[in-house]
Amino acid sequence: MTNRFRLVIIGGGVAGLALATRLGNTLGRSGKLEITLVDKGFSHVWKPMLHCFAAGTARNENDRITFVSHAAAHGFRFCYGEVAQLDRANRRITLAPLMEENNQLLLEERHLDYDAVVFAIGSRANDFGTPGVVEHCMFLDNVVEANNFNERFRHAIIQAYGRGTPVDIAIVGGGATGVQLAAELHKALDIGALYNFTPVTPEMRVTLLEAGPRILPAFPQAVSDAAQKQLEALKIDVRTNTMVSGADQTGFILKDGSRVNAQFRVWAAGVKAPDVTRDMDGLEYQRGGQLTVQTNLQSTVDDHIFALGDCSFVKDAPVAPTAQVARQQAHHLARYLPGYIFNNKPVPDFRFRNRGAIVALGDYNGWGAFADGKTFGGGFLNGLSARLGHMALYRQHQFELYGPFRGAIACFTDWLAGFVRPPVRMD
């Protein structure tokens, strides 16, 4: 039996794991706070890297952070499971039963009692109810989906080399995920050609469909134009102002009645919270399922509940669903939750500080944009500065979670592995 304050963090993404790590280092190790991180997976990966895992240009085995070992090293507990129900009156969370692959019951539902809970369960692509998308499209919202895509992609490439047939891929969504995936797939094919399967590299036809007037709408117009020009130089068919009205086993149906046929159909458009947020015992949520919070990230309904990252919507000061926002919100709660927990001090309002954004198109090009609209990258050494900046953000994430010593070791082992492993996954 313990009298320690029980903090439960739901979700081990950028925000959830950063919060658990920081509070674990300061209060969990000392025994002042009981911290439990809940996630339906066993490991964490940096979500902005998922397109690389899908293309096979990065091996996620080297980029995963295992929750169990990380929790043991940083003063918190890890609980494997998925939230099924929230009982606010009794401050209790119910975790769904665990099932084996053959649909046999592995573990009954379990319960976690809390004094405060933080929802950080991230987001998924939003199909907007478009017919056939859920049944016939692939998503890249987590490492499992990225691995599934990569396995199918590798098999298709092997068939294409052997039969001399093209590979058709259609991606819906001209945001960073869709644009970077399109470029990364071409990078994978270019590298794969070095393996000399046949004298002739098979054709890969990639179509990028965007409903809006331009790709990368979060970036300045100049970056959108330059990125589209680069994609078209890679023979990627970029179609803007193109609305998808449905999907089937062979492609996408467009609003004008035409079709885009594709062996691979990827949906990378829109953002919504996981469906479970709609069943959280009366909490206020938005149309996309995001939990509505005050500017201090506290629920508008229950002061014992917080939400941050992509699964939250700040009612009076909305922010974009990006890793940068999630990270800053986690740092904010890590700083002020101790005062709320131990001294009943209110958590002050969160204020987002825009540090800009970076998009990297494989080894082909890259751009960055500052908060004031100024851009960098492109042209000089094919956007080397932006691509290095994108990698620096990933290393910063590693150092934050691992600490300087283990972070340096992680960088060194990645560099060392580059000498002995192939640059693209083909096994």
Report the predicted TM-score, pTM, of the whole model to 2 decimal places. 0.88
Asked whether residue 1 carries a pLDDT value surpassing 50, the answer given is: no
pLDDT tens digit sequence for 74-124: 999 999 999 999 999 999 999 999 888 788 888 899 999 999 999 999 999
Judge whether residue 407 has pLDDT over 90. Answer: no
Q: Provide the pLDDT for residue 332.
A: 97
Whether 5-123+273-343 shares its CATH topology with 130-270 is answered: yes
Amino acid at residue number 365: N
Predicted confidence at residue 395, as pLDDT, reads: 83
d(CA 252, CA 136): 9
Superfamily of domain 5-123+273-343: FAD/NAD(P)-binding domain (3.50.50.60)
Question: Tokens for 324?
Answer: 């940068």
Q: Cα(209)–Cα(241) distance, rounded to whole angstroms?
A: 8
Q: How much of the chain exceeds pLDDT 70, in percent?
A: 92
Work out the mean pLDDT of the chain and round it to a whole number.
89
Tell me if the domain spanning 130-270 has CATH number 3.50.50.60: yes
Percent of the chain residues past pLDDT 90, beyond the cut: 59
Q: What is the pLDDT of residues 289-331, one digit of tens each?
A: 999 999 999 999 999 999 999 999 999 999 999 899 999 999 9
Any idea of the CA torsion for 329, 46, 51, 409, to the nearest 10 degrees?
A: 140
Segments in 119-256 forming alpha helices (H): 133-136, 143-163, 176-192, 221-233
What confidence score (pLDDT) does residue 423 get? 56
Q: How confident is the model at residue 413 (pLDDT cuts 50, 70, 90)?
A: confident
How far is it, in rounded angstroms, from Cα 350 to Cα 340? 14
At 20, which helix (H) or strand (E)? Answer: helix 14-23
Q: How far is CA 81 from CA 10, 37, 67, 93, 182, in A?
A: 10, 10, 12, 11, 33
3-state secondary structure of 95: strand
pLDDT, mean of residues 166-191:
91
Per-residue model confidence as pLDDT tens digits over 155-173: 888 888 778 889 999 999 9
Q: Within a 13 Å sphere around the CA of 340, how many CA atoms are in the beta-carbon half?
A: 22
Torsion of CA 146, 149, 153, 155, to 10 degrees: 110
Name the residue ranges covered by the structural domains of the chain.
5-123+273-343, 130-270, 355-419
Q: Are 146 and 50 in contact (CB under 8 A)?
A: yes
Residue 143 structure tokens: 């490492």
Tens digits of residue pLDDT in 197-241: 556 777 889 999 999 999 999 899 999 999 999 999 999 999 999
pLDDT in tens, 45-60: 888 888 888 988 876 5
Using one digit for the tens of pLDDT, what is the confidence trace for 232-276?
999 999 999 999 999 999 999 999 999 999 999 999 999 898 888
**Is the model's pLDDT at 62 over the cut of 70?**
no
Give the sign of the dihedral formed by CA 73, CA 79, CA 82, CA 86: negative
* 323 contacts: CB under 8 Å, gap ≥ 6: 14, 46, 47, 48
DSSP letters, 31-93, are TSEEEEEEESSSEE--GGGHHHHHHTSS-GGGT-EEHHHHHHHHT-EEEE--EEEEETTTTEE
Q: Please state, in angstroms and rounded to a whole number, the distance separating the CA atoms of residues 405 and 376.
A: 31
